[in-house]
């Protein structure tokens, strides 16, 4: 089946609510992040929640990077 739509994939195929239970929002260096905590008490970045375009140019804050607090 081929589905031609301009809607994002998240609207067409919604994820289960249990996937969101492991996510939390933290602030690091004045920037908010949506992160997932791993077993070593470190946080893996899922999404940056910033309105400053300069924050997205910093390679330390890319998705999948580890933040040690």
Tell me if 16 sits within 8 A of 23, measured CB to CB: no
Q: How far apart are CA 12 and CA 16, in angstroms?
A: 13
pLDDT tens string 9-43: 878 887 777 777 889 999 999 999 999 988 888 89
If DSSP codes are grouped into helix, strand and coil, which group holds residue 52? coil
In this predicted structure, what is the pLDDT of residue 54? 94
Helices H, strands E: what count in the chain?
Answer: 1, 4
More confident residue, 56 or 14: 56
* CA gyration radius, the chain: 15
Q: Which residues pair with 48 in a beta bridge?
A: 33
């Amino acid at each position: 089946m081929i589905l031609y739509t301009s809607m994002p994939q998240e609207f067409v195929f919604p994820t289960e609510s249990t996937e969101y239970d492991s996510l939390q929002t933290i602030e690091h260096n004045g920037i908010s992040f949506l992160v997932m905590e791993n077993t070593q008490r470190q946080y893996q970045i899922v999404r940056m929640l910033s309105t400053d375009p300069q924050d997205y140019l910093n390679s330390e804050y890319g998705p999948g990077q580890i933040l040690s607090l």
